[in-house]
Amino acid sequence: MHLSLRRAAVAAVVFGAALSLNWQGRAQTSPVIIAYVFPRNELIVPSEIAADKLTHINYAFADVKDGRIVEGFTRDAENFKLLADLRRAHPHLKILISVGGWTWSGNFSDAALTAESRRRFTDSAIAFVRRHDIDGVDIDWEYPGLRGNNNVHRPEDRENFTAMMAELRQALDVEGRARSRRYLLTFAAGASPDFIAHTEMDKVQAVVDFVNLMTYDFRTSDPIAGHHANLYVHPADTKKRSVDGAVRDFLAAGVPPAKIVVGVPFYGRAWADIKGDGTGPYQPGSRPTERIETKYG
């Protein structure tokens, strides 16, 4: 499971929370529980992180500037040292840098555009991993070939995303052999048919360890009230969005079951002024303006 702390900070440590479940299709593999930690410009508080319940921490976020991965916040270096201490106390724990996110995905398309720009990006990833002694890279490009947060995007993003991930995998493997360790490569995937249509999932999955599905925020600014991370489709939901449907779509796109990590938010959304004859869900109302959050621990 991955704890998706994606849009807001919970106690300045977790900015979303998501359960990561490995969907098994054959041989049993060890499940993973991934938490995104999003401290912004604050110091993390290691005692507030339930490290014994986690397998991975994705530190959110690094930025992409001039085609390179760079630190996004003022206290990142201090926070990586605190996370290294946490890893020493919990040797099973892996620490990754999550790059981009909703706010900082605007420069991915340019970074992935050419062989030269991808080499610059990959070199900066290796330098970042070395600088902070972390265990891998999580790419959170929201989204290849799609506008996202009014981002630069191109039709070529589909193939360029594949090339970027393949070159990152190769560079991380070379670095790993030099240091006698294995570095992880993962990415956050939009849980929608549009994301699949604008990527080459069958090729990308082959070079990554996990595909972290963003199976939450199915409804963010929609005036129709409804679950934003529902497991199954509600009969009244005209959008037909669900965790189950997203997982099935990614399986059909060629992602092996053991690589799929399901995201579950530890927050809810609220609508008001519900109209219609129903009991609330999938009835028209005001757009959600608040999130009800709970701390993971």
pLDDT (tens digit per residue) in 93-126: 999 999 999 999 999 999 999 999 999 999 999 9
- Helical (H) or strand (E) element with 220: none
User: What local confidence, expressed as pLDDT, does residue 275 receive?
Assistant: 85
User: What local confidence, expressed as pLDDT, does residue 265 receive?
Assistant: 87
pLDDT (tens digit per residue) in 199-240: 999 999 999 999 999 999 998 888 999 999 999 999 999 999
Question: 276: helix, coil or strand?
Answer: coil
Neighbour-count burial of 176, counting CB atoms closer than 10 A to its CB (0-12 exposed, 13-18 middle, 19+ buried): middle
Which residue in the list 71, 142, 167, 293 is annotated as catalytic? 142
CATH code for the domain in which residue 117 is found: 3.20.20.80
Q: Is 142 a catalytic residue?
A: yes
SS (H, E, C) 167-185: HHHHHHHHHHHHHCCCCEE
Sorted by sequence, the CB contacts under 8 Å of residue 140 that are 6+ apart come out as 60, 61, 98, 99, 100, 101, 105, 187, 188
Question: 157: helix, coil or strand?
Answer: helix
Sorted by sequence, the CB contacts under 8 Å of residue 96 that are 6+ apart come out as 56, 57, 58, 59, 134, 135, 136, 137, 138, 184, 186
Query: Across-strand partners of 37?
Result: 14, 59
If you average pLDDT over every residue of the chain, what do you get? 88
- Does residue 61 have a cis bond before it (omega within 30 degrees)? yes
Total number of domains in the chain:
1
Spatial separation of the C-alpha atoms in residues 142 and 150, rounded to whole Å: 10
Confidence of residue 29 (pLDDT cuts 50, 70, 90): low
Taking residues 136-153, report their average pLDDT: 98
Query: What is the extent of the structural domain holding 230?
Result: 2-293
User: pTM here?
Assistant: 0.89
Confidence of residue 295 (pLDDT cuts 50, 70, 90): very low
